[in-house]
Chains A and B, each alone.
Chain A
């Protein structure tokens, strides 16, 4: 359904301050002279008002005129996210601030929040000094922090919706929201795992909960949603989940990851896939493991993309290999798309799982070499 344009535009000012993944210091140096670059996003198009800009801070104003929730990205080569806004509901608008050095980029809208999105080339010209080696590493962590910020923002929003559905005993809606809210969690799981106590409370599976600790979090509610179908007594658990997510979001945004942690995180996400998602252990009641699988891969890709300028300089052959293998994983996964989501784990054959496992192994081996390249002096 379409929201009248007037209403949509009104929303810009309200929401732009909220979840926008902004680039930080607005130095204004060489920034776009003509104000925000308008982006009209529909279900089938992504019209960016200009295809070039000056180096410096640029502002995009995205309006979702489609019927699906959308996202907007600016990518550097290798799908390195320079900035993104997630979760733009139909009819709403958002502003996004991004610091762009001279270079070639791509803009992308993702109606339905899936896939490669609708892309266009975007060129930034003007002077920006080449980064030193250390500056490239610092840039990598800053870039990944932007990613974490955008993901945690969406995680919070979607968890609020999920919790509200559970508390309202809306089982069907809660089931629909379960894999979607988890997507944002799974993309940044290595960050979440830094905070030892919170991770098991939010994402612990029944058998790994320590003795004396209650079984709480996403998987507890999953069990009730798909098992008994009765979540009428899960209000306190849902409240606790939201409180825990809020806490971890605050902590994650305060945490500054080192380049080495990024590299290890990229690998850890694939280990998550290899051990938990391929086997169907993670979402054993809902069987929505492929949502998590895809999110883990996206998160891994984001971490590698942040490191890309450093890797390009130190080991271009490795970057090429990683690009190839990420593409192979995406192609293997794409066979199991179903509508806006994925097939259930129970709908996959043993041969399907083997092919996915092979693709993950082929990617994880070269990814395991990234840390040493990054830490090289």
Chain B
């Protein structure tokens, strides 16, 4: 029997278990290897599968993977049924890919020679690699830039999905901002993340068109207590105060949309703000260590707030140095972003570093691709960014070049569910 027929037969057998079954089995340490018909399960957790279905979408409190491929789409069809049909197809493909299988039922090499394969093939032999696929709806899906309610959804737009205000210093490029839909594919192998986006974009041709996309590496936030706090390209630990998966009460208060917050279709979902923040690397690199630490408000080595010993010590905003000045400058990042200065605002940050090669002046075209999930951006991202945009010393080294806002609905319940099913069911 050929390898191909082996793997196909196995795919059918696994499909019988149901999506959660596969994911559950993989989550305890096994990993399904796609395509090539290997039967050895790998023990490596980073290679394992993350359950695709559940109360909330995966890819939010999931331990942050190493890589992201994020894409924003414009919807180009006027036909609502085609759009929901595509979301259904996406859900089926994502269920397969997150379980380490090919995007389509036939697979990368299982079909007839005359047909283009229904999977693009670059993930053959790779494990699921913790792939998550998270989908969100932008404000323009509900009412487009021309004011048109293309899909009868305008009345269902949550108040929390209010267009972000313009912040001082914004240098946003409309071509890489916004979008009707977004897909965040995170994985511990960049090839697996790219494979997921590429196949979803292909499935969507004629219905959606890629507006912009971004690759990121080296997660800049930890989303569980087990993960060490990673560093951004300024060389500082980033996300020490992040919301963590274990903080159930805080997640309820700050991350997940609760019953009564707005339209029911978003209950259990979360709002995503994306910001591509270019870092002016070269000038930062030649600023003195003391200045860097003053700007951030933390030690570069340990990540401890200035005046404290340990990374997780609470910053003391009242502490004053020998010169009578506050130890934590009033313009320091840690002070301006702290919940105590923003009416308790907290977000779950899930950003990634990016390097898009170099610019024409030989400078690294690099920075932070900031991704943050929250219960309501109006009390989350907006006040924090207002505070930062106004006063943060770090702004001298930053440019916000892209911005996105998306309503990410709750998790999918099973094979018949798809993103926004409850939303589209109420469309007029």
* A375 contacts B205, C-beta separation under 8 Å: no
* A369 contacts B206, C-beta separation under 8 Å: no
The verdict on A95 contacting chain B, using a C-beta distance below 8 Å, is: no
Neighbouring A residues of B207 by C-beta, 8 Å: 362
The verdict on A49 contacting chain B, using a C-beta distance below 8 Å, is: no
* B76 contacts A368, C-beta separation under 8 Å: no
Neighbouring A residues of B115 by C-beta, 8 Å: 368-369, 371-372
Contacting B at CB under 8 A, from A342-377, are: 354-355, 358, 361-365, 368-369, 371-372, 374-376
The verdict on B247 contacting chain A, using a C-beta distance below 8 Å, is: no
Contacting A at CB under 8 A, from B194-220, are: 202, 205-207, 209
* A358 contacts B209, C-beta separation under 8 Å: yes
The verdict on A325 contacting chain B, using a C-beta distance below 8 Å, is: yes
* A325 contacts B112, C-beta separation under 8 Å: no
The verdict on A260 contacting chain B, using a C-beta distance below 8 Å, is: yes
* A375 contacts B206, C-beta separation under 8 Å: no
* A362 contacts B206, C-beta separation under 8 Å: yes
Neighbouring A residues of B202 by C-beta, 8 Å: 365
Q: How far is the CA of A266 from the CA of B405 in the complex (A)?
A: 40
User: Assuming the A-B contacts A358-B209, A362-B206, are A369 and B116 also in contact, with contact meaning beta carbons closer than 8 angstroms in the complex?
Assistant: yes
* A368 contacts B116, C-beta separation under 8 Å: yes
* A361 contacts B206, C-beta separation under 8 Å: yes
State the main secondary structure of chain B at its contact with A. Answer: loop
* B114 contacts A372, C-beta separation under 8 Å: yes
Q: How far is the CA of A218 from the CA of B114 in the complex (A)?
A: 33
* B205 contacts A365, C-beta separation under 8 Å: yes
Neighbouring B residues of A362 by C-beta, 8 Å: 76, 205-207
Q: How far is the CA of A355 from the CA of B209 in the complex (A)?
A: 9
Q: How far is the CA of A365 from the CA of B206 in the complex (A)?
A: 9
* B112 contacts A375, C-beta separation under 8 Å: yes
B202: nearest residue on chain A (CB-CB)?
A365
Interface centre among A263, A355, A364, A371, by most chain B C-beta atoms within 10 angstroms, is A371
Neighbouring A residues of B112 by C-beta, 8 Å: 372, 375-376
Q: How far is the CA of A354 from the CA of B211 in the complex (A)?
A: 10
Neighbouring B residues of A363 by C-beta, 8 Å: 206
Return the contact of B209 from the options A354, A368, A369 (Cβ within 8 A). Answer: A354
Q: How large is the interface on B (under 10, 10 to 19, 20 to 34, 35 or more residues)?
A: 10 to 19
A365: nearest residue on chain B (CB-CB)?
B205
Contacting B at CB under 8 A, from A128-150, are: none
The contact string, 1 if C-beta is below 8 Å from chain A, for chain B 97-111, is: 000000000000001
Return the contact of A361 from the options B111, B114, B116, B205 (Cβ within 8 A). Answer: B205
A357: nearest residue on chain B (CB-CB)?
B209
Q: How far is the CA of A354 from the CA of B210 in the complex (A)?
A: 10
Q: How far is the CA of A368 from the CA of B205 in the complex (A)?
A: 13
What is the distance, in angstroms, from A355's C-beta to the closest C-beta of chain B?
Answer: 8
A369: nearest residue on chain B (CB-CB)?
B115
Q: How far is the CA of A358 from the CA of B211 in the complex (A)?
A: 11
What is the distance, in angstroms, from B73's C-beta to the closest C-beta of chain A?
Answer: 11
Neighbouring A residues of B76 by C-beta, 8 Å: 355, 358, 362
B76: nearest residue on chain A (CB-CB)?
A358
What is the distance, in angstroms, from A283's C-beta to the closest C-beta of chain B?
Answer: 25
* B114 contacts A371, C-beta separation under 8 Å: yes
Q: How far is the CA of A303 from the CA of B220 in the complex (A)?
A: 52
What is the distance, in angstroms, from B114's C-beta to the closest C-beta of chain A?
Answer: 4
What is the distance, in angstroms, from A266's C-beta to the closest C-beta of chain B?
Answer: 13
B77: nearest residue on chain A (CB-CB)?
A362
Neighbouring B residues of A361 by C-beta, 8 Å: 205-206, 209
What is the distance, in angstroms, from A263's C-beta to the closest C-beta of chain B?
Answer: 8
Q: How far is the CA of A362 from the CA of B86 in the complex (A)?
A: 13
A374: nearest residue on chain B (CB-CB)?
B114
Q: How far is the CA of A325 from the CA of B76 in the complex (A)?
A: 12
User: Assuming the A-B contacts A354-B209, A361-B206, A362-B206, are A260 and B116 also in contact, with contact meaning beta carbons closer than 8 angstroms in the complex?
Assistant: no
Interface centre among B76, B111, B205, B206, by most chain A C-beta atoms within 10 angstroms, is B206
Q: How far is the CA of A263 from the CA of B116 in the complex (A)?
A: 12
Q: How far is the CA of A81 from the CA of B252 in the complex (A)?
A: 64
Neighbouring A residues of B114 by C-beta, 8 Å: 260, 263, 371-372, 374-375
What is the distance, in angstroms, from B377's C-beta to the closest C-beta of chain A?
Answer: 28
Q: How far is the CA of A328 from the CA of B116 in the complex (A)?
A: 23
Neighbouring B residues of A365 by C-beta, 8 Å: 202, 205-206
B203: nearest residue on chain A (CB-CB)?
A365
Q: How far is the CA of A364 from the CA of B116 in the complex (A)?
A: 11
The contact string, 1 if C-beta is below 8 Å from chain B, for chain A 251-291, is: 00000000010010000000000000000000000000000
A350: nearest residue on chain B (CB-CB)?
B175
What is the distance, in angstroms, from A19's C-beta to the closest C-beta of chain B?
Answer: 35
Q: How far is the CA of A372 from the CA of B118 in the complex (A)?
A: 12
Q: How far is the CA of A361 from the CA of B112 in the complex (A)?
A: 22
What is the distance, in angstroms, from B97's C-beta to the closest C-beta of chain A?
Answer: 18
What is the distance, in angstroms, from B297's C-beta to the closest C-beta of chain A?
Answer: 42
Neighbouring B residues of A263 by C-beta, 8 Å: 114
Neighbouring B residues of A376 by C-beta, 8 Å: 112
Q: How far is the CA of A358 from the CA of B205 in the complex (A)?
A: 7
Neighbouring B residues of A260 by C-beta, 8 Å: 114
Q: How far is the CA of A361 from the CA of B204 in the complex (A)?
A: 10
Q: How far is the CA of A88 from the CA of B242 in the complex (A)?
A: 75
22 residue pairs A–B, Cβ–Cβ below 8 Å = A260-B114, A263-B114, A328-B206, A354-B209, A355-B76, A358-B205, A358-B206, A358-B209, A361-B205, A361-B206, A361-B209, A362-B205, A365-B202, A368-B115, A368-B116, A369-B115, A369-B116, A371-B115, A372-B112, A372-B115, A374-B114, A375-B114
The interface of chain B, by Cβ under 8 A from chain A, is: 76, 111-112, 114-116, 202, 205-207, 209
Extra pairs beyond A365-B202, A369-B115 (13, CB < 8 Å) = A260-B114, A263-B114, A358-B206, A358-B209, A361-B205, A362-B76, A362-B205, A362-B207, A363-B206, A368-B115, A372-B114, A375-B112, A376-B112
Give me the 10 closest cross-chain CB pairs, A-B, nearest first.
A362-B206, A372-B115, A375-B114, A371-B114, A358-B209, A372-B114, A361-B205, A368-B116, A365-B205, A362-B205
